Chain A
Amino acid sequence: QKEVEQNSGPLSVPEGAIASLNCTYSDRGSQSFFWYRQYSGKSPELIMFIYSNGDKEDGRFTAQLNKASQYVSLLIRDSQPSDSATYLCAVSSGSARQLTFGSGTQLTVLP
């Protein structure tokens, strides 16, 4: 059974700090990797996707992928209170619409 593991947290960081969110996956055939953000009572929204080993940066967000270690991470630089949410790691082995989600990490950025 394909699994995606995340530390459930909660993770608290002070405003302006770097938040580091981690995710491991079990299926070596996984091809696409996504980070979604879900505010309380809202639906998930895509923040980043990454397909190749290495880093991918988009503004304050950096996704890192290491397929050999089956590890994906998300770094949030200059964290803001508005970043407080649950971050979901998702993995796809085929169709990018059939995702296996982790349980999510709850992040709180303290003002």
Chain B
Amino acid sequence: KAGVTQTPRYLIKTRGQQVTLSCSPISGHRSVSWYQQTPGQGLQFLFEYFSETQRNKGNFPGRFSGRQFSNSRSEMNVSTLELGDSALYLCASSLARTGNTGELFFGEGSRLTVL
């Protein structure tokens, strides 16, 4: 069974640019969550999508956005990049059924460097 696939794995951008990251969840998983991981702030929740709808959103500025497609694949976009956006962006998928533990299966992440 294929795991969570994130692309690209590594990318370098300059301040002011925008970036789009992609995530393909485990087959059958309908929930996709995004997290940012940095050495200083650790893992922080960005947002969760389920059935193409954003269900929850973390405390990040509006420059961070996302969407989910009908096949459950998800993208997140960061506009007007800042140096502080340099991080590992992790996508996690989940079955998200009632009674399910909500176990998150993380992808390997997309490492973004902003110069």
Contact = CB atoms under 8 A, between A and B. Distances in A.
A92 interface: yes
Given A97-B31, A98-B58, A104-B42, A49 B103 contact: yes
Contacts of A42: 108
B48 interface: yes
B76 interface: no
B42 A32 contact: no
Interface of A: 32, 42-46, 49, 88, 90, 92, 94-104
A96 B100 CA distance: 9
Nearest to A99: B45
Contacts, number: 56
Contact of A99 (B104, B107, B108, B109): B104
Judged by DSSP, the binding face of A is loop
A46 B104 contact: yes
A25 to B, nearest CB: 14
Interface stretch (B12-20, B65-73, B77-85, B89-97): B89-97
9 contacts: A42-B108, A45-B106, A49-B103, A88-B42, A95-B56, A97-B55, A97-B94, A101-B43, A104-B42
A100 B43 CA distance: 8
Given A102-B42, A103-B42, A104-B42, A97 B106 contact: no
Given A44-B106, A97-B104, A101-B43, 12 more contacts: A32-B102, A43-B90, A43-B107, A44-B104, A46-B104, A90-B43, A95-B48, A97-B94, A98-B48, A98-B56, A99-B43, A101-B35
